[in-house]
Structure 1
Amino acid sequence: MSLPGYLTTLVGRQQEIAEVVDLLQHPDTRLLTLTGPGGVGKTRLAVAVAERLRCLLEHGVVFVGLASLRDPTLVLTAIAEAMGLQDLGSIPLGERLVLSLRDRHLLLLLDNVEHLVSAATDIGDLLLACPRLQILVTSRLPLRIGGERVYHISPLPLPTDLDAPAEEVMASPAVQLFLERARASDPAVALTPDIAPIAARICARLDGLPLALELAAARTRLLPLPALLSRLERSLDVLTSGARDLPDRQRTLRQTIAWSHDLLDERERILFRRLAPFAGGFTIEAIEAVCDFDDSLGPEVLDALTSLLDLNLVHRVPGTEQRPRFRLLETIREFAVEQLIESGEESLVRRQHATYFLELAEQGAYALHQVEDRAGLEALEREHDNYRAVFVWLRAAATENPVEAALFAFRLSLALWWFWIYRGHWEEGRARLTEALSQVQLLGVLDSHSHAVALLDLGMLDYEQGDYDAAEARLAESARLAGEHGDRHTLCLALHYHGLSALYRSRYEDARALLRESVAVARSIGQPWYLATAI
């Protein structure tokens, strides 16, 4: 995966870049973790370091964004996907990853790992198996495994004297960043002698945190710097009783986001908190379906979204001009989650989110049954993190309503199986469907028709991964159940894949009989896709 690009300059980090580059060029540095509070600029610094090192490393740099991933067991899968690897049958994806990386002199940049630290052992094992591999991690806390070096990133330096002349104030990287971003919002902003101490105090109030400075700078279109400072001072005075176990700077970032949140009207606040369930981004259609289910936003939903964009609470994803896509920065998304919980709407909104993506998956599955729709597959891939977030929520929801959660997860797994097959997410699909099937069986809510479909899905995934014994057992049972219920679509595919497995294992007579029967069933269905698949 290519490194993220930025349209703005990186301010005040030259020394840190040089120090991190030097650490990574030391032969003993295999794992280096950049730590620091949310919003301090860990990702931006890491990308700048990677840009410096890319040409010096024989096999370059691979960027792996993990901010939207919620399942620690999928970290190696995410790395493999970033490497462009897919399952190729009987070799597990983890082994393929080791085979691919074992002899490469390469830097992996794992971005936003703090919520996935239980995957630290997997990361350590990967380093042990690949002697030339280096890993650069961004995280709010260290991984705490052997061989890890930690580099702490502090906020940008502030002026030593807040009342110093403008030239001295401007020497502060925090002030430089704030003014550069402020001028982007309002070109009239200038560091005059009377404004210099105000700018210095704004930066000091925000502790020099880059994200906080950028959020504040965005408001200079609306508020002159003296008014901006006054509002920040009042907001910080009110929000001084954050949790005692949070780092001071994290509390300040929370206060800054809360300050931006205070500028929203009620309609905009509703939209903001209801964006919390989205992982990896969202479209306008998704916003309308998930966030305006009760018509509380009305026809002005686009105006509310524009306000969130103006406040830098929502960002537009680059390269999505044809069908605009948006996302929340993870630190801001965490604040949105808090607001959603406080509103008492969390369960309702997360159910809306899950239902929307279930319907999207089922529509995509229907289209894929007619023809391999590449555009549809790409659309499902873009929403993959949202589907993963739904599965995480369903696990949590199972404590209150196990039957509803199990049936929902099972239905979603059945809808996504073609996507998992075509896009090579075999291990993940197999694990999710196996878990979902076991839950509905355990709860006694599995009907035989759905059982046949699930066995077909798992049998196909077994076949693709080279587990032919398991595949044939499941496919034979699927064919039996489908035949009993007259489900010719499932019967056709179960016979076809059973025949392919027999053919691969040189059981030619069995293969011929199964494949002929599959073709006969496909002809009786009368749909070209099934006949083309069977033939």
Structure 2
Amino acid sequence: MYRQRAGFTQVELAELLDLKSSKMMQLWENGYRLPAASRLKKLVEVYYRRGVFTAQRERQEVHELWASIKDAFDARAETYQTYPIFDELWFETIQNQEEEKKEQNLPLKAPEKASSDQQTALMGSPEHLALTRPNNLPAPTTPLIGRDREVERIVELIIRPEIRLLTITGPGGIGKTRLGLQAGSRLLGHFGQGVFFVALATLNDPALVLAQIAKTLGLKENANLLPDLQAYLRDRQMLLVLDNFEQVTPARDQLITLLEAAPGLKLLVTSRIVLRLYGEHEFNVAPLPLPEPGQLALDHLAANASVKLLVERARQFRPDFILTEANAPALAWICLRLEGLPLALELVSTWLKLFSPQVLLDKLEQSGSSRLQLLTGGPRNLAGRQQTIRNTLEWSYQLLDPFLQDLFVRLSVFRAGATFDAVEVVCASLFSSDITVLEGISLLVDHNLIRVVELMVEGETDLRFEMLETIREYGLEKLDQSSQAKNVRQAHAAYYLGFLKKAQPNLHTPQQPVWLDRLERDHPNLRTALEWLLETGPQTLTRAEEALEMGVVLGIFWNMHGHLAEGRKWLGQILAKFPDTRLDLRARLLNNAALLASRQNDTPEATRLLEEALVHWRQLDDRRNISLALNNLGIMAFQRGDFDRARQLYTEGLALKRGLGEPRGLAVALNNLGELLVTQGQLDQAQALFNETFSVMQSLGDTHNMALALLNLGKVARLQGQARTALPLLLDSLEKLLAIGDKFNLAENLEELAWCLTLPGFSEETWTVRLAGAAAALRERIGAPQQGEQRDHYKQALAITRNNFSPETWQRAWQEGGQTPLEQLGKNFSAVARTWPVQKN
């Protein structure tokens, strides 16, 4: 409304707001994206200067605009932060600036909400009145778990005067009906003529909706049903809870007719589909909160809503079932596997009378089909669609028109979501000039079969579209049964191969952290694409080369992000499956596989792979990669303790690098030679090489290799006993490694920091233990044990520190370090350590 009043196009307004594209404006106006508070302030300023707000009502209109966005933001159940309140001082400043007032006005006081005491005085005690108000609400047979916040919010919204139609939306099995009933019960005291539950699940004909309402209210059905209902409701203060409206949505206009005729009427609707009515407010229900994978202690899990629901329902079948230290982790992972979907948790709980939690988890992990097979056997007093997850999803699927059914099935090929660009490319053949990607996606969002997830990328929000994994597995069943499965999977694989090719040149540039983060985010899709290429690859040479090309880039990513065992598995499969492909591709895969093996201390296998790669590169006379293989073989000799052989290989590789004039490769080789010099005690020479490496990498914007050079410089300073010098170098390296996500070198960095804190000049021994515990936990997760003599010296340094702790205090600090998320631990330590007054030695 305001944009049109201001005379701006979406493109013009996007430029004024410094948005990257007008697509964000379209998402704002369609309600699929909400502007951040800083963006909203800028938008208000633009509108105010344009004079679009009504004279003398500017503050009120801006208040209303802000409140509508805040309410929409706060109502999204997946968001646990609240939107900032309206900033009166900011708005006063805007007024003063624009109207050029000479005297500064005090900010107007925000409209005050009536207190709970005032509301009680006006209405009487709702709790008392609820006992006398007419209703037909069924009494619950089980307690509602984990939904207090949602019920409170629904009640708050319904009692607001301006809200008369509230739709509770969400996918099947999310608990919409139960929320509607619970909220209706809480609202009895607010409606003089009561609250009535109108069950629509058995209706298929929209024309019968009014008759069902009339029947619920005890009215006789006749030919003049609409006028009779309007007359009956006109002077009544009543709430109708209309349940399962999704299959009778053509009747939605009749709801407006009733609301217009009866000012005291309010409607609380549950539906898998938003109604898209003027005046409608939506409350979208998210799955129950999930346990944190790294926080599986009993006290954390006992307070988690998903775990509480699973345990409570299990007690219906096994009265003695309780949450224990032994079963808590398995129960937590069952909840994670089922994504906190209440119906799924209730259905799977029935199997706990036969299986232990760990056995049940193993069965859920076996395959996607086993999950849907296990989610059956609901109570017979539930509707048939709620007795299995498959029935629930089939109900939602049948509500879609053929085009949306096709789009839903195609989208199930994406794992862990997809961007607009990915959907556009993979589903390109489905779209025509009559419907856009955004329109098709928005309709599936309305049906609650996919959800919009906002991510911050380079300071800007980016949108992904995700399915709950249970919903996706149902879609995959449909896809595999269709004739389009092969084409869709090929399009998916081709898109992500292109994505990797786009990423590859950015993996050694200043954009490195951004692209590594993108690869991590789409790692599930990359796995899916690679898996499909391996299944179908032998059919064509092209398919085989596509698999090798994916492996080349993924090998770099797996190495940097610590996916060592997984990367070795995939690369081993590719090399075994396609032995007779292009030598250049095979050699690069061999090199990647060798680096992953070396990270896991499998030096013999890494050496074998590198020697084979070197043979291929010599056959191709590829001098650049010959020098790479020589350098990496030098690392293997270094790990074996054969320092003379390592120096020989490094020197040979360096000679080739100098001839090629390749600064990055030369700097990497110098860095490796520096590590050899450190082992031999030549610290000054090593320090010079590391400084040279850092300078080169800094000029190239290579954050990853800058971090490694800083790590090595910190190590040299630590060996020299220079705590004042070592700590800031290691902290700079830590921050860069966290940004990149290099788990292998991050573990070494944490160990160096812990080691550094054992030097004279530090008294923060608790941080020593935390850092060491975090490093040990990280190495265990990625399967990368410490290497060489350094391991023994490090343990000796920690043993001395350990003598200053009781066993219990040491263990507590060690576990704290291992269980704290790495980014949080790193930021906390960096913030604290940079303030420490380090004493001179």
Structure 2 length-normalised TM? 0.38
In structure 2, the residue matched to 1:334 is: 473
Q: 1:357 aligns with which of 496, 511, 531?
A: 496
Letter in structure 2 aligned against 1:6: E
Say whether 1:461 aligns with 2:461: no
Match of 2:426 in 1: 290
Match of 1:313 in 2: 449
Residue 174 of structure 1: aligned partner:
none
* Cα distance in 2 between the residues matched to 1:421 and 1:49: 26
Q: Deviations over 1:135-155 (max 9, x none)?
A: x99958959766758799999
1:325 is paired with a residue whose SS is strand
1:277 pairs with one of 407, 413, 422: 413
> Structure 1 pair 370/104, CA: closer, same or farther in 2 (3 Å)?
farther
Gap regions ≥5 residues in structure 2: 1-75, 81-139, 147-170, 176-285, 308-324, 339-344, 362-373, 671-841
Give distance in 1, aligned partners of 2:350 and 2:517.
Answer: 34
Alignment match of 1:513 (pick from 625, 628, 648): 648
Which residue of the partner structure matches residue 812 of structure 2? none
- Which of the residues 333, 347, 367 maps onto 1:110? 333
- 1:274·1:340 contact (CA, 8 Å) conserved in 2? yes
Question: Measured at CA, do residues 49 and 40 of structure 1 come closer, stay the same or move farther in structure 2, by a change above 3 Å?
Answer: farther
Contact 2:598 2:606 in 1 (8 A): yes
Match of 1:92 in 2: none
SS in 1 for 2:461: coil
Matched residue type, 2:487 = L
Q: Which residue of 2 aligns with 1:235?
A: none
Pair 1:480-2:618 in alignment: no
Task: Out of 345-354 and 510-519, give the one that drifted further.
Answer: 510-519
**SS of structure 2 residue aligned to 1:349:** helix
Cα gap change, 1:449 to 1:332, in 2 (>3 Å): same
SS of equivalent to 2:173 = coil
Residue number in structure 2 paired with 1:56: 299
Whether the aligned pair in 2 keeps the contact of 1:482 and 1:490 (CA below 8 Å) is: yes
The answer for the alignment partner of 1:386 in structure 2 is: 525
Worse-matched range after superposition: 359-368 or 372-381: 359-368
Opposite residue 565 of structure 2, the aligned amino acid is E
**How does 1:79-158 map onto structure 2 within 5 Å?**
107=329, 109-111=332-334
Structure-2 change in CA distance of 1:490 and 1:308 (3 Å)? same
The residue type equivalent to 2:522 in the other structure is E
Q: How far 1:260 sits from its partner (Å)?
A: 2.9
Structure 1 residues 496, 408: closer, same or farther in 2, change over 3 A? same
Residues 291, 336 of structure 2: 8 Å contact kept: no
Equivalent residue letter for 1:307? L
Shift of 1:300: 1.5
Work out the CA distance in 2 between the residues paired with 1:454 and 1:486: 17
Q: Distance in 2 between matches of 1:502 and 1:451?
A: 23
2:631 is the counterpart of 1:496 = yes
Q: 1:296 & 1:372 partners in 2: Cα distance? A: 35
**CA separation in 1, counterparts of 2:645 and 2:592?**
21
Displacement after TM superposition at 1:475 (Å): 1.5
Q: Show the counterpart of 1:186.
A: none
Do the aligned partners of residues 45 and 51 (structure 1) sit closer, same or farther apart at CA in structure 2, a change above 3 Å counting?
farther
Q: Output the CA distance in 2 between the equivalents of 1:300 and 1:395.
A: 33
Are residues 1:439 and 2:550 paired?
A: no
Q: Do the aligned partners of 1:284 and 1:325 also contact (CA within 8 Å) in 2?
A: yes
What is the DSSP-based 3-state SS (H/G/I as helix, E as strand, rest coil) of the residue aligned with 2:333? strand
Distance across 1 between alignment mates of 2:612 and 2:425: 39
Inter-partner Cα distance in structure 1 for 2:664 and 2:526? 27
- Distance 1:140-1:335 versus aligned 2 partners, 3 A rule: farther
Q: Which residue does the alignment assign to 2:695?
A: none
- 2:595 and 2:292 mapped to 1: Cα distance? 43
Q: Is the 8 A contact 1:499 1:512 kept in 2?
A: yes
Q: How far did 1:465 drift?
A: 1.2
CA distance in 2, matches of 1:297, 1:271: 16
Quick one: distance in 1 between partners of 2:516 and 2:426?
A: 22
Q: Which structure 2 residues correspond to residues 233-312 of structure 1 after superposition, within 5 A?
A: 248-262=387-401, 266=403, 268-293=404-429, 296=432, 300-312=436-448
Work out which structure has the larger RCO, using CA pairs closer than 8 Å and 6 or more positions apart in sequence. 1
- CA change 1:386–1:153 in 2 (3 A) is closer
Residues 507 and 524 of structure 1: is their aligned pair in 2 closer, same or farther, counting only changes over 3 Å? same
Give the direction of change, closer, same or farther, for the CA distance of 1:51–1:259 in structure 2 (3 Å limit).
farther
- Which residue identity is paired with 2:499? L
Question: C-alpha deviations, 1:324-359, integer Å up to 9, x for none?
Answer: 111112333234334434552110111010011111
Q: Aligned-residue CA RMSD in angstroms?
A: 4.6
The answer on whether the counterparts of 2:534 and 2:577 sit within 8 Å (CA) in structure 1 is no
Matches within 5 A, 1:166-245: 209=386
Gaps of 5+ in 1: 19-36, 65-102, 116-135, 161-203, 210-247
Q: Which residue of 1 aligns with 2:73?
A: none
- Counterpart selection for 2:173 from 32, 36, 39: 39
CA distance in 2: counterparts of 1:49 and 1:428, whole angstroms? 23
2:129 alignment counterpart: none
Q: Is the 8 A contact 2:408 2:444 kept in 1?
A: yes
Q: Are residues 273 and 525 of structure 1, via their aligned partners in 2, closer, same or farther at CA, if it must alter by over 3 Å?
A: farther
Can you list the C-alpha shifts for 1:281-318, whole angstroms capped at 9, x where unaligned? 10001111111157546772111111111221210125
Counterpart in the other structure of 2:550: 412
Amino acid at match of 1:291: C
1:234 alignment counterpart = none
Mark the CA change 1:148 to 1:501 in structure 2 (over 3 Å): closer, same or farther: closer
Contact 1:60 1:106 (C-alpha < 8 Å) held by counterparts: no
Matched, 1:6 2:78: yes
- In structure 1, what is the Cα distance between the partners aligned to 2:609 and 2:359? 48
SS of 1:324's equivalent in the other structure is strand
| Separation (CA, whole Å) in 1 of partners of 2:600 and 2:509 | 24
Partners of 2:413 and 2:641 lie apart in 1 by 49
Cα shift readout 1:48-86 (whole Å, capped 9, x = no counterpart): 89999968259999x99xxxxxxxxxxxxxxxxxxxxxx
Corresponding residue pairs, total: 362
2: CA distance between counterparts of 1:501 and 1:372? 30
Query: Partner amino acid for 1:417?
Result: G
Q: Secondary structure at the match of 2:399?
A: helix
Deviation at 1:367?
2.1
* SS of the residue 1:334 aligns to: helix
Deviations 1:2-28 (A, max 9, x none): xx97359xxx7974759xxxxxxxxxx
SS in 2 for 1:261: coil
Q: Distance in 2 between matches of 1:427 and 1:389?
A: 17
Counterpart contact for 2:610–2:629, Cα < 8 Å: yes
TM-score (norm 1): 0.57
Assess, with a 3 A threshold, how the Cα gap between structure 1 residues 157 and 396 changes in structure 2: closer, same or farther: same
Identity of aligned residues (%): 28
Distance in 2 (CA, whole Å) between partners of 1:428 and 1:272 is 30
1:426 aligns with 2:543: no
Paired residue secondary structure (1:6) = coil
Q: Kindly provide the CA deviation profile for residues 474-526 of structure 1, in whole angstroms up to 9, marking residues without a partner as x.
A: 22232232123122332232111111221232222211121122223233333
1:367 and 2:439 equivalent?
A: no
8 Å Cα contact 2:631/2:650 also seen in 1? yes
The alignment partner of 1:436 has SS state of: helix
